[in-house]
Amino acid sequence: MRDQDRALSLAERVLKAAAGADQAQVSVAVSDASYARFARNYVVQNLASVSTQITLTYYVGKKSGSVSTDDASPASIARMVAAARAIAQRVPPDNGFVSLPKPAAIATAARSYYDTTADATADDRVEKLLPLFARMKTSDLSSSGFATTQINTVAIANSLGVRAAFTGTMSGLQLKAIAERTSGFAEFYGPDFSMLDPQAVAERAAMKATLSRVPANLKPGTYTVLLEPSAFAAALKALTEGMGAGDVLEDKDSWMVGRIGKRVFSPNFTLRDDWSHPLFANAPFNTGDGAPTKKLTLIDRGVAKHYVSSTYTANKYHVPNTGHPGFPANGVVEPGTRSREALLASIERGVLISRTWYERVVDPRAAAITGITRDGVYLIENGKLTKTLKNFRYFVSMIDALKDVEFSNAQVLTEPDSDTSYSSVLPDAKIAKYNLAAQTSFA
């Protein structure tokens, strides 16, 4: 594709300018993103931007300097090379560094580019939102959120001969349906904009926003919960943030230490890392260094199997290079056999959680995480949503939580994580015991 060819050509131009380095790597990331932002059932802003970030890492022996710029002019490239060289000459050596990756076969990318997304116009994005606004008005609701279409390109070139480039499209819709004192959240993400059904997204959000007019109290405690995929993705960080080789082998500050090869979770839980899943638009290589990414089963029917590694950590710890940026970047949780509706109907008394924020892993060895719910928490009674609840701070060990879990039979692509920018492909998760530690005063 022309986008990745141009990005790779730029990377090679910078690499040529850094010919004096013992080793050097150049990455070029190009984001072509357009948004229709809305509030109060009106589009309030249409915007589009194209940004390019060029990053050079220049090695002098085991010392390195990295510099980034968005200016691709010859003068800027010369300044970047000089600055990276100067840093590399001044910093102490990194004795863990062995080498940048050498050329290796990279799998052909799965279909990741859709003209329906790449060619979408401002009018197309607004047109998608009109049924959403109509649905909001039917229930006397306001709304806020955005629709987006994006083309993302990355290229890697290094002095050892690695050349890798990838272009993919992504589209998304985030909606918060807003009543006077309650709200409901729904979203869509996928590489193909034509698959976005705004009416379905609007219906999910409106149903939750109109469940009750006033948020109710619920005594903090341990409840059965149904985590929608966005909330489940946030909770899974308690596991994935500790699944890098550095966490396991050097820091030894990971829940995997002493547990690899053992059954840790419910047999219902299988976690794979698979960049080729059709809901992704992910590169088949590590976008940090250009090494090919292996498909892995990380947790197999509850048994902890594999951690992931980058070129740096693979060389340092003498383990296979899986081609990852220090954590699983393409997480896929295998679905269950029952529908979301069936899982909901099976809960006698519990809580539905739509989304969370302010997540922090507080004990990596126990995969313990805390965070705050947002944009919709609901009481489940006799298999039905009955009340909107005020928000909670949760505190839970995912090792314990995932010992008794069941998943819905449908997977969705989640919103990009605010810390890593990566998404996951996840079902809804019914967890038998989840600690809602404290309730807030607001919904």
Tokens of 46: 């249409």
Asked if pLDDT for residue 13 goes beyond 90, the answer is yes
Separation CA 413–CA 230 (nearest Å): 9
Mean pLDDT taken over the chain: 97
pLDDT for res 421: 86
* pLDDT given at position 108: 92
Q: Is 50 a residue whose pLDDT tops 80?
A: yes
Q: What mean pLDDT comes out for the span 221-249? A: 97
Question: Residue 1's pLDDT band (boundaries 50, 70, 90)?
Answer: low
Among residues 186, 197, 42, the alpha carbon closest in space to that of 128 is found at: 197
Looking up tokens 């001969």, which residue turns up? 161
Global confidence as pTM: 0.96
pLDDT in tens, 304-360: 999 999 999 999 999 999 999 999 999 999 999 999 999 999 999 999 999 999 999
Quote the CA–CA distance of 148 and 174 in Å, as a whole number: 9
CA 150 from chain center: how many Å? 15
Report the CATH fold assignment for 2-209: PmbA/TldD fold (3.30.2290)
Q: In angstroms, how far is CA 142 from the centroid of its own chain?
A: 28
Q: Which run of H or E residues covers position 39?
A: strand 23-39
Per-residue confidence (pLDDT) for residue 109, from 0 to 100: 85
CATH 3.30.2290.10 domain extents, the chain: 2-209
Q: Which among 256, 275, 280, 273 is positioned nearest to 333, based on CA atoms?
A: 273
Q: What percent of the chain has pLDDT over 90?
A: 96
Instruction: Provide the angle, in degrees to the nearest 10, between the axes of the packed helices 74-90 and 2-17.
Output: 50
Token reading at 45: 């802003």
> Residue 123 pLDDT more than 90?
yes
Cα separations (Å) of 324 from 144, 158, 358, 425?
35, 17, 25, 17
SS3 label, residue 130: helix
pLDDT in tens, 159-209: 999 999 999 999 999 999 999 999 999 999 999 999 999 999 999 999 999
Residue 419: pLDDT above 90? no
Residue 226's pLDDT is what?
A: 98
Report the pLDDT value the prediction gives residue 133, as an integer from 0 to 100. Answer: 98
Whether the predicted pLDDT of 401 surpasses 80: yes
Residues 6+ apart with CB under 8 A from 401: 235, 431, 433, 434
pLDDT mean over 285-310: 98
The secondary structure element, H or E, covering residue 186 is strand 183-190
pLDDT-wise least confident of 223-227, 359-363, 418-422? 418-422
